[in-house]
Structure 1
Amino acid sequence: MSVAPPRYDRARLTPGIVHIGLGNFHRAHMATYLDDLFALGEDHDWAILGAGVRPADARMREALMAQDWLSTVVELDPRGKRARRVGAMIDFVEVDCANGPLIAAMRRPEIRIVSLTVTEGGYFIDPATGRFDPTAPEIAADGAAPDRPATAFGAIVAALRARRDAGIVPFTVLSCDNLPGNGDVARAAVVGLARLSDPGLAAWIDTHVAFPNAMVDRIAPATGPRECAMAAAFGLGDDPVPVTCEPFRQWVIEDRFSAGRPALEKAGVTFSPRVHDFETMKIRILNGGHAILGYPAELLGIEYVHEAMADDTIAAFLGKIETDEIVPIVPPVPGHDLRDYKQLILQRFANPEIADTARRLCFDGSNRQPKFIIPSIRDNIARGVMPTGLILASAMWCRYCEGTDSRGRTTPPNDPDWDMLMATARVAKQDPARWIGMRAIYGNLADDPAFVAAFAEALHLVWDEGVGAAIAHYVEG
């Protein structure tokens, strides 16, 4: 098997982007789009400088430095795997606890975009309000010491201050994280942090810096021995950080940039003022589908997503909720039939080559449920429908957090708030209202008697009759 090398002269690339967070998703998504664009002979002044603010980023830097910043990306098409070496990144900024090298890189005039993949939970959002939390300890620390910031947002604020003072056009801040209104969320974090130390700078950023919203999509599982073995099969046995991903990818961006942008539309990116519609479609149908699928699979001892899709009971559960309770509340999207999109998502989940794990889908439910499941519950209730399938899916999250699966095996911690969730779930076994009383997650749904009753019924059903029986009860109506 052969590996496709970059189809351009990397020595002729110059940087235009600093990207913070060089995980698998970035290298399978943004970096591959730029790699394709460069192969067309376009925009060679938009190469990536990698960056990070965590110890894991330093380890990634060392691994990629050893292979001249090239990333191996293996596309897991059931019809046959394809491997490529992505060369869109040409350097990786030294990782430093005070972020001096990162700030210096972002200050350079040729850097016109700073992009981020810092995970959904990395934006310091107060779950109770859904807004930026200026009291978060890391944010408060950066606000008190803006010249030695520890967070990515603190470094961005410091770099923008330096550019303003030097008369350099500000860069665009482009979030590539899977968040509703991710550009607006990034703006709130950057402006909110700046306001703690320099209200004038905060006002300047709010006026002059672009924060386009974007919808991103590609499944890229975590790298482990299986993924390293795949790279080795292509003759790349010395690559410790290969990326595997599905063939499908999508990127929709608002065309709002402070200092220009690469012609990514030539590589398949969609520029649209209706990013929110694309985003809602993806978050409700795909990410919501992940949550619906993941918890019953984990509870039943099913390791892989494609194996869960091969389970007739779980597949029927997912399909019925998507058809009856999610697709009807998703707004129309230009150029997409939502029913066709749902079928595409189900096909993607069933791809056996991905070997995505149910455990990964279950991670960080305290952050993901309020984004992927609970909004769909609210929208159904608003249209006069009690979404018993979605409520059952959320009850299964509660059952999962109790800490044992259906066979009595211990569930390893899988959420930053695991201890609190486990304690609450164990009380909720007898008193379900305690679970939905977590207002940071469920908000005022706890004040809706019909929802409270439906959730209690679902949770008792899961505990009393088991996961499979509870699903069958819903599927059979």
Structure 2
Amino acid sequence: MTLPPQVQMPGYDRAALTPGIVHIGLGNFHRAHMAVYLDDLMAMGLAQDWAILGAGVRPPDAQMRAALMAQDCLSTIIELDPKGRTARRVGAMTGFIEVQPDNAALIKAMTDPAIRIVSLTVTEGGYFINAATGQFDPEAAEIRHDAAHPATPKTAFGAILAALRARNAAGTAPFTVLSCDNLPGNGHVTQSAIVGLARLSDAGFADWVQANVAFPNGMVDRITPATGPRERAMAAEFGLADDPVPVTCEPFRQWVLEDRFPQGRPPLERVGVTFTDNVHAHEAMKIRILNGGHATIAYPGALMDVDYVHEAMANPLISGFLDKVEREEIIPYVAPVPDIDLYAYYDTIRARFSNAQVADTERRLCFDGSNRQPKFIIPSLRDALTAGGKIDGLALVSALWCRYCAGTTDSGAVTPPNDPDWPHLQQLSLTARTDPPVWIAQKATYGDTGADPRFASAFAEALNALWADGTAKTLQRYLGG
């Protein structure tokens, strides 16, 4: 394929690459994160035997496969620096496994001894976690199917187990399973899901997986907006109008990993990846300050008909709300991270959110609150309550989410469904308008925190104010103390 001269091309012989990684879930984040790190290594003449085989387990993954296979598995990555955009084609992926209902081709690929890492980006909601308990949910329908039909699984976890079983039978060492999703303790969560699924059909094999398969924890970070007409137009400006799936991203990227890869790994430390035994501290910092910050600006912006994140940051009410909540109710309860000033880290995040080139949408940040609130907001709220600290801002964040789920903005504009559980949440939100406790009684989201009288009172007051006075006046009142 001939690439336009203004686009940085892979600086290595792709024909010399051999796969060492199967990655399940070829969304924008993976292609702007892991694939870029590997592309950088390959450009240095390293990691030639660590190319990626793409994979997916859902019908929409077949569309991504068709798009990428048509362009030789090259991904267009457009970096949105405020000083100017740059584009590159990332060539670290050399193939995309056929997407099949029984995942036979995926299982076969993962049995190859050359595959030493199987990585995943299947989103926060794809790990079959019971939000009320925080544990693996063995009653999920797809899990029950895979437990009953282990040779023809529907899930990524079922396919991984089938491949591990085949490798074990052949005397092949197990691959490392690496979650690249934005979850607290993502390695532990992945292990819980895979071992939990195995235990439903073969307890002995589950014990073997637990004892022999590595699941390193990791923290990942890079803002990658969804691809739409704007992003395709950017690709066209670089002479890549034929690419239907370009990725745009901010310049910043970060990856922090535990160094537990028994079958080896690429030398990722050469391209900026941090290896440490202290991943949890980095992860908690990022999830609470960055992801919690996203949730804090998402819902007021959406309710005030603000389309883009940088526009929300330019609004003094929303920006001031973020600043006060972060400095008074989130950061004071974030554990120290070696060699990092938490307030300086927050200042960096403010700058990232304000990058107008990224044009990340408020709607994207609002998506899937039922999975994100328990991970990004409730832990900070719980810690603040335990410490007897301020909680009015976090209670307002929760009330803003509730108000958003009613399905209209302050102006009366209709909010299209934006959560896998939208019909239930919308009905609950409308009920909560006159009966606020019904919202925080959701055990799956709030656990026991919803029963705390301080939180219940603050939440009710905030929700009543949002309905009576609107978002802007409610934020103004909060900022005024």
Q: Could you state the TM-score of these two structures normalised by the residue count of structure 1?
A: 0.99
Deviation at 1:374, TM superposition (A): 0.6
Tell me the amino acid that sits aligned with residue 249 of structure 1: R
Deviation at 1:464, TM superposition (A): 1.3
Is 1:88 aligned to 2:92, yes or no?
A: yes
Deviation at 1:279, TM superposition (A): 0.4
Name the counterpart of 2:46.
42
Q: Quick one: distance in 1 between partners of 2:401 and 2:421?
A: 13
Is 1:423 aligned to 2:427, yes or no?
A: yes
Name the counterpart of 1:262.
266
Q: Quick one: distance in 2 between partners of 1:399 and 1:241?
A: 34
1:3-26 CA-to-partner distances (Å, cap 9, x unmatched) read 000111111100000000000000
RMSD: 0.7
Matches within 5 A, 1:392-471: 392-471=396-475
1:355-380 CA-to-partner distances (Å, cap 9, x unmatched) read 11100000000100000001100011
Asked if the contact 2:79/2:251 (under 8 Å) is kept, the reply is yes
1:145-174 CA-to-partner distances (Å, cap 9, x unmatched) read 000001100000000000011110000000
Tell me the amino acid that sits aligned with residue 303 of structure 1: D
Q: Quick one: distance in 2 between partners of 1:85 and 1:201?
A: 42
Tell me the amino acid that sits aligned with residue 32 of structure 2: A
Is 1:152 aligned to 2:175, yes or no?
A: no
Q: Quick one: distance in 2 between partners of 1:298 and 1:446?
A: 24
Q: Which moved more, 1:381-390 or 1:344-353?
A: 381-390
SS across alignment from 1:69: coil
Tell me the amino acid that sits aligned with residue 271 of structure 1: F
1:322-357 CA-to-partner distances (Å, cap 9, x unmatched) read 111111111111221101100000100000011111
Deviation at 1:236, TM superposition (A): 0.8
Q: Quick one: distance in 2 between partners of 1:228 and 1:258?
A: 40
SS across alignment from 1:84: strand
- Counterpart of 2:391 (choices 383, 387, 412) is 387
SS across alignment from 1:76: strand
Tell me the amino acid that sits aligned with residue 186 of structure 1: T
Matches within 5 A, 1:179-194: 179-194=183-198
SS across alignment from 2:225: coil
Tell me the amino acid that sits aligned with residue 479 of structure 2: V
1:251-298 CA-to-partner distances (Å, cap 9, x unmatched) read 000011131111000011000111010000100011001100000000
Q: Quick one: distance in 2 between partners of 1:167 and 1:63?
A: 36
Is 1:314 aligned to 2:335, yes or no?
A: no
Name the counterpart of 2:206.
202
Asked if the contact 1:7/1:39 (under 8 Å) is kept, the reply is yes
Tell me the amino acid that sits aligned with residue 242 of structure 1: P
Tell me the amino acid that sits aligned with residue 295 of structure 2: A
Tell me the amino acid that sits aligned with residue 251 of structure 1: W
Asked if the contact 1:169/1:258 (under 8 Å) is kept, the reply is no
Name the counterpart of 2:82.
78
Asked if the contact 2:255/2:274 (under 8 Å) is kept, the reply is yes
Name the counterpart of 1:221.
225
Name the counterpart of 1:118.
122
1:31-89 CA-to-partner distances (Å, cap 9, x unmatched) read 00000011111120000000001111111111111111100000000101010000000
Name the counterpart of 1:278.
282
Name the counterpart of 1:170.
174
SS across alignment from 1:3: coil
Asked if the contact 2:57/2:101 (under 8 Å) is kept, the reply is yes
Tell me the amino acid that sits aligned with residue 211 of structure 1: F
Q: Quick one: distance in 2 between partners of 1:83 and 1:397?
A: 36
Tell me, which stretches of 5 or more residues in structure 2 are unaligned? none
Asked if the contact 2:296/2:322 (under 8 Å) is kept, the reply is yes
Q: Quick one: distance in 1 between partners of 2:82 and 2:368?
A: 29
Asked if the contact 1:377/1:387 (under 8 Å) is kept, the reply is yes
Tell me the amino acid that sits aligned with residue 105 of structure 1: A
1:159-212 CA-to-partner distances (Å, cap 9, x unmatched) read 000001111000000000000000000000110111111111111100000000
Q: Could you state the TM-score of these two structures normalised by the residue count of structure 2?
A: 0.98
Deviation at 1:474, TM superposition (A): 1.0
Is 1:130 aligned to 2:134, yes or no?
A: yes
Tell me the amino acid that sits aligned with residue 283 of structure 2: E
Deviation at 1:447, TM superposition (A): 2.1
Asked if the contact 2:391/2:455 (under 8 Å) is kept, the reply is no
SS across alignment from 2:81: coil
Matches within 5 A, 1:314-333: 314-333=318-337
Name the counterpart of 2:365.
361
1:84-137 CA-to-partner distances (Å, cap 9, x unmatched) read 000000000011100000000000000000000000000000111010001100
Tell me the amino acid that sits aligned with residue 415 of structure 1: D
Tell me the amino acid that sits aligned with residue 97 of structure 1: P
Tell me the amino acid that sits aligned with residue 38 of structure 2: L
Q: Quick one: distance in 1 between partners of 2:449 and 2:180?
A: 30
Q: Quick one: distance in 2 between partners of 1:386 and 1:223?
A: 38
1:433-470 CA-to-partner distances (Å, cap 9, x unmatched) read 01001111111122211211111111111111111111
Tell me the amino acid that sits aligned with residue 90 of structure 1: T
Tell me the amino acid that sits aligned with residue 195 of structure 1: R
Q: Quick one: distance in 1 between partners of 2:190 and 2:228?
A: 31
Deviation at 1:386, TM superposition (A): 3.4
Asked if the contact 1:208/1:258 (under 8 Å) is kept, the reply is no
Q: Quick one: distance in 1 between partners of 2:196 and 2:262?
A: 19
Asked if the contact 2:329/2:390 (under 8 Å) is kept, the reply is no
Q: Quick one: distance in 1 between partners of 2:12 and 2:258?
A: 28
Tell me the amino acid that sits aligned with residue 191 of structure 1: V
Q: Quick one: distance in 2 between partners of 1:171 and 1:462?
A: 51
Q: Quick one: distance in 2 between partners of 1:37 and 1:268?
A: 10
